[in-house]
Amino acid sequence: MSAAPQEPVRCRAFRTDGQPCTAPAVRGGLCIGHQPGAAAAHVKGGKATSSANRALKLLPSRLQPIVDTLEKVFYEVYEGNRSLKSATAMATVALAIGKLVLAGELEMRVRAIEAQMRLETGRPDRWPA
């Protein structure tokens, strides 16, 4: 005689739409999503892989202080503790710095490509025909 498979115990919490949660309970009658502290873990979970975080990792380290300052300025303007005029001036200067850094990086890349082409073709100034 074989025993019928047991139905897993379901979570006793309710979803945000008011319906009962259908996930299996793992501890204390709650699923992993409804455990105490799950909301904090969920919020923390995606921070390292967010688009903003990936972009900051690609940012040259010498620009990080500028980004940090602009972020502070943003909140100061929002809270009314800084004039929009001074924030605009700071953002304009930061934009110019960013453009100069980008131009420098592109110049370095072009020079590296040209050097590689000289090595491969033996020609000092020409692309292969």
Dump pLDDT digits (tens) for 13-47: 998 899 999 989 888 888 888 888 777 776 666 66
Q: Helix axis angle, 64-79 relative to 84-121, nearest 10°?
A: 160
The C-alpha atoms of residue 13 and residue 113 are separated, in whole angstroms, by: 60
For the question of whether the overall pTM of this predicted structure is more than 0.75, the answer is no
CB proximity list for 33: less than 8 A, separation 6 or greater: 11, 21, 23, 42
pLDDT value of position 122 = 76
The C-alpha atoms of residue 53 and residue 47 are separated, in whole angstroms, by: 7
